[in-house]
Amino acid sequence: MAYISSPDSPTPFEVEEDLLHYYVVDGVRLPPFCRGKLDDIANFTVREDDVWILSYPRAGGWIQDMVHLIHSEGGDILKADLSLEAVEDAIPFLEGPSPGLETLKNLPSPRCFKSHLPFRLLPRGVQDKQCKVIYVARNPKDVMCSFYDFHRTVQIIHYKGTFQQFYYRFMNSKLGYGCYFSHVKSWWNQRTHPSVFFLKYEDMHKEFKKTVIKMGEFLGQPLTSDKVLDVCAYWDEEAKYNRKEDRVGYWKYHFTIHINEKFEKLYPDKLKDSDLTFDFDL
């Protein structure tokens, strides 16, 4: 769908001072459910056989389904339960309101966690790569639009601002979990470490079979050719992995020509100190 022109620019600030009542820690805005947890998170004991799935919000959530399928079920699609409830139980949200850090630290090995926290607020053992880390990075235009949809549709947030205002917030690090660009670059700089699998969301779409194979190898669960084909077929057929908002290029449904021009002017400066690149279309 072609994006349309608009003469308006995002206003500097929205009427509501802060969506979700964010609070600021070390320059990073965080959701209220993180309050009082960061010291315990920093000291959270990491195990060598842990798997940590990290990303900025809305960077490709269904990667956790693939990790659960391979990590817990050896890629056996007939055996695996990939319902939302089963996957969330298997891969709990570190900083989330439940089940709580005490419960998480006592889970039996091998454990698997997910988090949106920026690098410097993660457990020290994760920062030191004392476990396996899968970092998922999605192009900033699509992340912005998916995060906007999330803010509009989640009842407890009920965001009423315009997309132009949301664009301003995103580009100026005024959303939960801080600056998207710093978040992504911090793990891009760690990508050559053997315990880190840096995965671009767009590459999954371009080379899904190759991604499945590499994921199995990284998790120490190499898949047979038959299992790889079964996983690929399941992902192709399953509707929840083929939604409009999951496409590469979803940004065209929200960006106006004016906003796109503003983004293209700012984007090079946001990544000026990095060789990280993204595909915005496939």
Look at residue 13 and tell me whether its pLDDT is greater than 80. no
The β-bridge partners of 134 are: 53, 197
DSSP-derived letter for residue 259 is: H
**Pairing status of strand 23-25 against strand 28-30:** antiparallel
Q: What per-residue confidence (pLDDT) applies to 162?
A: 92
pLDDT of residue 154: 77
User: What 3-state class would DSSP assign to 214?
Assistant: helix
Task: Report the run of H or E that residue 261 belongs to, with start and end.
Answer: helix 257-270
**How do residues 209-245 score in pLDDT, each as one tens digit?**
999 999 999 999 999 999 999 999 999 998 888 888 8
Q: Any idea which of 57-71, 177-191, 219-233 has the lowest mean pLDDT?
A: 57-71
**What pLDDT is stored for residue 12 in this prediction?**
45
Report the DSSP beta bridge partners of residue 200: 137
User: Phi and psi of 209, rounded to 5°?
Assistant: -60, -45
The share of the chain scoring above pLDDT 90, in percent, equals 76
Question: Which of these, 75, 58, 60, 91, lies nearest to 212 by C-alpha position?
Answer: 75
The rounded mean pLDDT for the chain is 90
Please confirm, yes or no, whether 151 is among the known catalytic residues.
no
69, HSE (Cβ side, Cα atoms, 13 Å): 24
Cα–Cα distance for residue pair 220/205, rounded to 1 Å: 23
Tokens linked to 226: 């038959």
Q: How confident is the model at residue 160 (pLDDT cuts 50, 70, 90)?
A: confident
Long-range CB contacts (within 8 A, 24+) of 192-195: 193/129, 195/129, 195/130, 195/131, 195/132, 195/133
Residue from 21, 68, 71, 116 carrying the catalytic annotation = 116
Helix (H) / strand (E) element for 144: namely helix 140-153
Under DSSP, the state recorded for 222 is P
Question: Domain spanning 39-157+179-246 has what CATH number?
Answer: 3.40.50.300
Q: Is 132 helix (H, G, I), strand (E, B) or coil?
A: strand
Q: How far apart are CA 55 and CA 168, in angstroms?
A: 21
Cα distance between residue 58 and residue 123, in whole Å: 21
pLDDT for res 151: 87
Q: To the nearest whole percent, how much of the chain has pLDDT over 70?
A: 92
pLDDT tens readout for residues 89-104: 999 999 999 899 999 9
Confidence of residue 248 (pLDDT cuts 50, 70, 90): very high
